[in-house]
Amino acid sequence: MNAPKLARVIDIHALKNACSNCSLREMCLPTGLKQDEIEKLDQMVYTRKRVKRGDSVYRSEEKFGSLYAIRSGFFKTTLVMEDGRDQVTGFHMAGDMLGMDGIGADQHSCNAVALEDSEVCVIPYGRLEELSREIYELQQHFHKVMSREIVREHGVMLLLGSMRAEERLAAFLLNLSQRFTSRGYSASEFNLRMTREEIGSYLGLKLETVSRTFSKFQEDGFIGVQQKNIRILDSEGLKSVLGRDPS
């Protein structure tokens, strides 16, 4: 009798991949659904995609079709100007949603590049639209995710438009720390997945300035830096950098 065994194998496989069983569930999907709704959601995501370090999930001007929930790994999104200058517009980690920039014009407007080997859940956009018409909680959740992206970008605009170099980097580190914390990782020690140049691009600074400012924070006893490894030793100290006039 092979059938039951086979069935179980398939079962386990299905379970393993199911949203309903995903540890990141509450980050990319709504909570408090009924059983039948949960089953529908599991059907929404029928593809996972591995993305190797350096590869893109999508590129600017590519036809839009799906959103991507980050299952594991780390990404940057970048914009490129005609003259070649490019700018990092965000860093994204497990539980974040990628691709919402593509909805408006039906084509992507930035590049989403993996900074380490990663995995994304492919969410066909048409299917998401359909389901969010049926499931109120999904609709609500999706709208919140988009709205939060707008608010996040507001924050970056504030950072780029009004803060000095030290404030930008302090805000950046505190934000990263907070995001790692909310995912169950250490708030005080983490590895940067991006280069000084990418940090600089995101913060509107040159890589030398990023490096110098890391060194200064280290001298001040706020952090310990060893290349990509960061230990936050005095988060109050870092916070005090924000909004204090040059000293």
Partner DNA sequence: GGAAGATTTTGATCCACATCAATATTTCCG
Partner DNA sequence: CGGAAATATTGATGTGGATCAAAATCTTCC
Residues in contact with a copy of itself, shown as a per-residue x/- string from 143 to 182 under the rule CB under 8 A: xxxxxxxxx-xxxxxx-xxx--------------------
Q: How far is the CB of 24 from DNA (least distance, A)?
A: 26
Q: Which stretch binds DNA (CB under 7 A): 23-31, 126-134, 137-145, 219-227?
A: 219-227
Considering only residues 179-198, where is the footprint of DNA by CB under 7 A? 192, 195-197
For DNA, the closer CB: 164 or 239: 164
Q: What is the residue-wise DSSP string for 86-155?
A: EEEEEEEETT-EE-GGGTTTTB--SEEEESSSEEEEEEEHHHHHHHHHH-HHHHHHHHHHHHHHHHHHHH
Q: How far is the CB of 226 from DNA (least distance, A)?
A: 7
The set of residues, in sequence order, having a beta carbon less than 8 Å from that of 239 and lying 6+ positions away, is: 170, 174
Residue 226 CA to residue 243 CA, distance in Å, equals: 27
Residue 136 CA to residue 33 CA, distance in Å, equals: 10
Helix (H) or strand (E) holding 202, with range, is: helix 196-203
Q: How far is the CB of 99 from DNA (least distance, A)?
A: 25
Considering only residues 62-101, where is the footprint of DNA by CB under 7 A? none
Residue 132 CA to residue 120 CA, distance in Å, equals: 20
Which spans of this chain sit near a copy of itself (rule: CB under 8 A)? 79, 81-83, 85-87, 89, 100-105, 109-110, 129, 132-134, 136, 139-140, 143-151, 153-158, 160-162, 201-204, 243-244
Which spans of this chain sit near DNA (rule: CB under 7 A)? 164-166, 192, 195-197, 200, 204-212, 214-215, 225-228, 246
